[in-house]
Amino acid sequence: MLEALIFDVDGTLAETEDVHRRAFNDTFAADGLPWVWSRDAYRALLGTTGGKERIARHIREAGGDPAQVDIPALHAAKTARYVDLMAQGEINLRPGIADLMAEARAAGLRLAVATTTSHPNVEALCKAVFGKPAEQVFDVIASGDRVAAKKPSPDIYLLALQQMGLLPHQAVALEDSRNGLRAAKAAGLACCVSPGIYTQGEDFSEADLVIDDFSALGGLSRLRRLTQDTA
Q: How far is CA 44 from CA 23, 38, 52, 58, in A?
A: 17, 10, 15, 10
Q: For residues 198 and 17, is the Cβ–Cβ distance under 8 A?
A: yes
- The number of residues making up the chain comes to 231
Active site residues: 8, 10
Q: Establish how many alpha carbons lie within 13 A of residue 69's alpha carbon, considering only the half-sphere containing its beta carbon.
A: 21
Angstrom distance (rounded) from CA 158 to CA 187: 6
How many Å apart are CA 136 and CA 159, to the nearest integer? 19
Whole-angstrom distance, CA of residue 157 vs CA of residue 88: 31
Alpha helices by DSSP H, listed for the chain, are: 17-30, 39-45, 51-61, 71-87, 97-106, 119-129, 155-164, 178-186, 220-230
What DSSP string describes 12-60?
Answer: TTB--HHHHHHHHHHHHHHTT------HHHHHHHTTS-SHHHHHHHHHH
